[in-house]
Amino acid sequence: MKSLRFLQELPGLVDGIRKQRDLIIANILLIGQTPSEPVVKKSDELEIENININLRKKLFIERLLEVGVGESSVDAHGNPIGLVKGKGNGNSRKGIIAAAHLDTAIPITDEVNYNVGVDTISGPGIIDNSVSIGILISLPEIIKNLDLGFSMDVFLVGFPDTLGKANLSSARNFINSWPFPVCGAICLEGAELGRLEYFSDGMIRAEISCDIPMTTGWENRFGVNAILIINEVINQIMAIEMPQRPKTFITIGKISGGMKHGDLALSAALGLEIQSSSDSVVRSLYSRIGDIVESIAFENRVALRLSKISDVSAVRLGYDHPLVKSSIKVLNALEIEPIIGSSQSEMSLFLGKGIPAVTIGLTHGENYHMENASIEIEPLFRGIAQLLGIMMAIDRGVCDE
């Protein structure tokens, strides 16, 4: 493995990063308080319905240009990209990618106000994933102020459409069309600090919806209940025997239905995720659930539908890969306990293209995916040092071994 003499310098970087607290918080607020969903462009008198603007994407580019990242633009697929030029690559564009998704787990359709306390920042979308974008657009100034030099080019990338039905489309299009060689990629998530992911299990996320056909308001008052239909679907899914190996899970994470306490529900839905290290097991279970849905629909004469929302193929970098080993050493140097797990993030797409990649968390957080989500400020400085440390390892050639 390449010499990583810089590891002993990482704890000292934390103090230098802490001195840039105001810059970091300002950029987190700039991005985080801006809508994560495209907004309709309006004039004084007319609303132009067919022109949507992603304000976060616009701010991403504007902020990088303001701090001197001259080669900042949006690619053909709508991904904002900034280039921090390295010192040793000339025109080869061989480099490092640091990326994060611009969309949020809670869609933000209007401006919001974040609350900045002494130790925390709170507000919708802060953990997933506004803090990561705030750090990305802070990196050029942090690198400059710390007097760090990278031989390789560093590409800062934001992915505007990844979550839910978008199914990582921004990242997929970016990776499939990227023209330059990449030594390694780092995908950023808000939390938890210590999160280190270098493999992805196979996964399918799906929704099952039930609708009761009716023609008059009283026809179904004592008839079929969509919530009970969904309940039967859940019972049959939970009765499926799971293999002990490979480790496999079916998680039911969302359920909704009905309009009023005293009326039978005419519609209901659930969201689930199938996850396994085997793609064939995931596909088999999805087919099995499809059979369950079809049989219950026929037997109860209801409209019951299974729809795939997103999927990821199983792929693994390997614990023995130099990037993984180096990343663990970086975390250890900063006294961060590694938390190893599977990632269904953009990282899986990089690995699928043969590009070494890891996903890391930047700080500690609470109330994930809620309106009052919050992050801790102090651990964020170590989280940024961790990011810089992994970038330095890639810059020194660990991915070329």
Q: How many CB atoms lie within 10 A of CB 345?
A: 24
Backbone angles phi, psi at 263, to 5 degrees: -110, 140
Q: pLDDT of 236-254, one tens digit each?
A: 999 999 998 999 999 999 9
Q: pLDDT of 340-353, one tens digit each?
A: 999 888 999 999 99
- Is 174 within 8 Å of 182 (Cβ atoms)? no
R_g of the chain computed on alpha carbons: 23
Handedness of CA 31, 35, 41, 44 (dihedral sign): negative
Q: Verify cis geometry, omega within 30 degrees of 0, for the bond prior to 176.
A: no
Q: So what's the pLDDT on residue 46?
A: 45
| Residue with the larger pLDDT of the pair 110 and 71 | 71
Q: pLDDT of 319-369, one tens digit each?
A: 999 999 999 999 999 999 999 999 888 999 999 999 999 999 999 999 988
- Is 113 within 8 Å of 123 (Cβ atoms)? yes
For 70, the enclosing helix (H) or strand (E) is: none
174 pLDDT more than 60: yes
Q: How far is CA 1 from CA 37, 88, 329, 396, 398, in A?
A: 43, 21, 12, 10, 7
Q: pLDDT of 370-391, one tens digit each?
A: 889 999 999 999 999 999 999 9
| Residue with the larger pLDDT of the pair 161 and 48 | 161
Nearest alpha-carbon partner for 84 in 383, 391, 323 = 391
Q: What class has domain 202-312? A: alpha beta
| Residue with the larger pLDDT of the pair 269 and 223 | 269
**What is the reported pTM?**
0.90
Q: So what's the pLDDT on residue 38?
A: 76
222 pLDDT more than 70: no
**Cα separation, 322 vs 22, whole angstroms:** 35
**Domain segments of the chain: what residues?**
5-200+314-400, 202-312
- Is 54 within 8 Å of 78 (Cβ atoms)? yes
Cβ neighbourhood burial of 258 (10 Å; 0-12, 13-18, 19+): middle
Mean pLDDT on 132-153:
95
Paired tokens of 70: 């001259």
Q: How far is CA 373 from CA 114, 120, 370, in A?
A: 10, 10, 5
Banded pLDDT at 58 (limits 50, 70, 90): very high
Q: How far is Cα of residue 2 from the mean position of the Cα atoms in its chain?
A: 30
| Residue with the larger pLDDT of the pair 105 and 96 | 96
Mean pLDDT on 267-293:
97
**Cα separation, 375 vs 396, whole angstroms:** 32
3-state secondary structure 122-169: ECCCHHHHHHHHHHHHHHHHHHHHCCCCCCCEEEEEEECCCCHHHCCH
| Number of helices (H), then strands (E), in the chain | 10, 19
Handedness of CA 271, 196, 142, 71 (dihedral sign): negative
What fold, for 5-200+314-400? Answer: Aminopeptidase (3.40.630)
- Is 31 within 8 Å of 134 (Cβ atoms)? yes
Q: So what's the pLDDT on residue 216?
A: 47
Banded pLDDT at 45 (limits 50, 70, 90): very low
If you average pLDDT over every residue of the chain, what do you get? 90
For 53, the enclosing helix (H) or strand (E) is: strand 47-53
Q: So what's the pLDDT on residue 51?
A: 47
- Is 151 within 8 Å of 6 (Cβ atoms)? no
Q: So what's the pLDDT on residue 297?
A: 95
48 pLDDT more than 50: no
130 pLDDT more than 80: yes
- Is 113 within 8 Å of 343 (Cβ atoms)? no
Q: So what's the pLDDT on residue 173?
A: 95
User: Any idea which of 40-44, 83-87, 190-194 has the lowest mean pLDDT?
Assistant: 40-44
50 pLDDT more than 90: no
Paired tokens of 112: 């919001």
